[in-house]
Amino acid sequence: WTLVIGSSLFACYFACFFFINNVIYFLANIILGIAFAHKIWQIQVLYTSFSTCQMIFSTRQTLARNSARILGIANLSLISGGILYIYITKTHASSNDVFVSNENYRYYSESETKIMCGFLFSFCMINLVLTCCLPTREIDNSVSKENPHMKLDFCDQLKTTVSTLADPYILMFVPRFINHGLIVSFFMNVYPTSLQYSTILAKRYPMMTAYYAFAMCAGTTLCGFVVAPLNKYFNDFGLRPLYYITAGIQLVTYTVAVLTVPNLSSARPTTESAFFEPNLMWVCLTAILLGFVDSTNAASSSVICSRLLPGRASHTYSAARFYRGVAASTIFFSSPYLTMKSHAIILISVTLISALSFDISVKQIERRELESQSLAKKADQESI
């Protein structure tokens, strides 16, 4: 039912765009922030609650696989979003209330915005009904049974939430959470902006945003197919192997991006070229890689957060979202002053630091788990 609350808030966000003004716009973003991650009393909404929900029908061995598959299916929505974008852009291109300042850029009217948000609001309402029908039966040996959730009252929830942010085990993984936040800001803001601000790409491919969405969808769906078989051949695949794959693909993605879009295009409109001539092939390749790495990142986070603090998985998910949000917000505010090369240097550096600290941090988790298993066996022997 926490998912139902999160879905309702998400629907409210899109509904706010039917009455556009400054006050409602910022209120809508507050609602969206709550819907995405925040923890109020015993409400772990949307991502936090969904991540916790996955633990009910996943074992430790299948959690990463299930997470990747779910994200692959969920991101099929990018196809409908891209089709809607193409429909609105082409159908209303000659509308009288569309303001176009010059031939290179397309601006969307209030009526077009309402059509888009109405479509998304309708999907949210359908999702709300389906969420109400989700099964709650736990499977045998589920992560949830191995890591039962602590039931706390209001005051204890607040104390636990705050203490979780500063927990030593959480702090060990802060570089990994920050790295996740930076890649989210990159594929949501930095890279799409560079496509719009590159005059070469904007003139050649007016529907570039739709192509980008389609390619990202292909990347997330591909991840669902790739992770499943790999999960069978690697012991504890969702921990080290999955994150090292994620970090490796991130490094490749940043390299491809910085070589194939103009350096200044991440900050302002530019007519300059890049090391390789910007074209649709490079954009789609980068989008596929971004979609793939977004899916592996989310799957890896699900595994890590489920094992960091026993009995406090939902608090761990909330803490992870907090640090990711701080990192994403910081780079969002800085992006107008950063070139694509600057972004690449920052992102590559953070990825390498994250990968190194991740290995050290995981060793601590594995040592703690071995000690717990030894104590449990000893207790069983004494009881016999």
Residues 351, 205 share a domain: yes
Domain boundary among 136, 158, 185: 136
Mean pLDDT for the chain overall: 78
More confident residue, 56 or 230: 230
> What b/e readout covers 2-37, taking b as 16+ CB neighbours within 10 angstroms?
bbbbbbbbbbbbbbbbeeeeeeeeeebeebbebbbb
Residues 189, 98 share a domain: no
Is 51 within a domain?
no
Mean pLDDT across 176-186? 91
Mean pLDDT across 42-47? 40
Q: How many of the other CB atoms lie within 10 Å of CB of 291?
A: 27
For residue 332, the domain's CATH number is 1.20.1250.20
- The answer for residues whose C-beta is within 8 angstroms of residue 171's C-beta and 6 or more apart is none
Residues 236, 99 share a domain: no
Contact 46, 7 (CB under 8 A): yes
Residues 273, 326 share a domain: yes
Query: What distances in angstroms separate CA 75 from CA 5, 175, 297, one per listed residue?
Result: 21, 26, 14
Phi, psi of 62 (to 5 degrees): -105, 0
In terms of average pLDDT, the best of 135-144, 312-321, 330-339 is: 330-339
Q: What is the DSSP letter of 44?
A: E
pLDDT computed for residue 249 by the predictor: 93
Quick one: tokens of 357?
């600290």
Domains: count for the chain: 2
Is pLDDT at 361 greater than 90 in this prediction? no
pLDDT computed for residue 341 by the predictor: 92
Quick one: tokens of 24?
């409602």
Domain that holds residue 85: 1-45+76-136
Is pLDDT at 314 greater than 90 in this prediction? no
Mean pLDDT across 36-55? 48
Cα separation of 23 and 26, whole Å?
A: 6
pLDDT computed for residue 353 by the predictor: 94
